[in-house]
Structure 1
C-alpha cells in the first residue's frame, strides 16, 4: 500500500516541481496533472475504507484546475502514506483478512452441508494455516528458516512462545492441523462430519479472537 502511494507521490512531486508557468490550458503538464490527480484519488479510495476522511478530502477539489487538484491530492496521499507507516494499516489489513477468511469459511460450510466434509476440512485447514502465518507477521515471529517457509506446527509453537496465545490454544490448533492433514492425505475415515463442523466453528472463533 505504501509502495503504491510512494510511486504516485514521487511522480506528482516531480511534475509539480516543473514550475507554474507550464500549466496553461492544453499543455502536456495540464493533461499529465489531471491524470495523476485522478490516479491519486483512485489510490486513496482503493486503500482506505468507504467514507474515510481521506476520501472526503480528495473529493473537495472536484472542479478545480489540474494543478490545484494534483497539489491537494498529493497532500492527502502523503498524509495517508504517513499514517500507514505509523501503523494505521493494521486495522485495514485485519479487515481485509477477516472478509477473505469469512468467504472461505462460508464456502467450507456450504460444502459440508452438501456432504463434502473432506473438501470442507481442507479449505478450513488451509485458511487456518494462512491465518497463523499472518499472525506471525503481525507479531514479528519469523515465518521462514534458511529461506524455507516454516511448517504450520512450528509457527504455532513459535506463537505460543511469543505469548500470542497460551498452551491450551496451541494444543487446539495442533489438533485442528492434524484433522486438516488427515483430509489432505486422504484419511477420510479418521474423522466425521460433526468434527469438521466443530473445526469450522472453532477456526472462525479463533480468527475473531486473534485477528491478523
Structure 2
C-alpha cells in the first residue's frame, strides 16, 4: 500500500468515528471529559473500527511507529478498572477520542512528509538527501524520526564500506553485525565502539524508547555520521 492509499484509508477511518459516538465533537476541552458518556456509543461498530485500525497500523513500518505504540496504549482504557495499571477513562468515548487524535497525527505526518519508511531508506541510494531530511527534522525538534533516519543512513553506509573493502555480508545484517565485520579492516576500535553507541540510540528510537536519549545526542550522531561517511566513502574513493 503506497502513501496516498494509506492517507486515504486513514481519512476514511477518521471520518467513521462520528458513526460510533455522537458525543465526541461536543467536547472541546479535556477538562470536560466527565460529560462524555457512552449513552450513544455503538460498541459493535467500535470493535469493527478498532480491529481495522490495528490491522492498518500494524502494516505501516511493521508496526514500529510511535503512532501505533501510542494507539495500543489506549486499548481498554475506557473500562477504567481500578485494578488496571495506568490511568483509566470515564468512558469508551474518551478512549475513542484519543485514538482518533493519534490517527489524525499519523495522517498529518504522512501528508507533511515527516514520516519515513525505514525499509525503503535501507535500499535508498541517495542517502545525502536523507541526511538533509534528518538535519531539517533536528532543526525542527523532531529528534525521534531524525534518529531513525540517521541510523538507516549509517546502515546503508556500512554496507557500502563492506562492498568497498570486498567484505561479504548477509542481506539481513544490521548495524552491529556489519560493524563487527568492518572492525580492524576498515577502521579502528574507537570508531567501532562509537558505532555501537549510535546503533543503540537508533534502536531505542525505532522501538519507541524516546526517553533514553536526548536531542543533543541525536545532533551529535548526525554530525559524527556525516564526517564518517566523508572519511570512509568520499575520500580516496575507489
Q: Which has the higher contact order (CA 8 A, sep 6+)?
A: 1
Question: Which has the greater radius of gyration?
Answer: 1
Bigger helix fraction: 1
Q: Please report the TM-score for the alignment, with normalisation by the length of structure 2.
A: 0.45
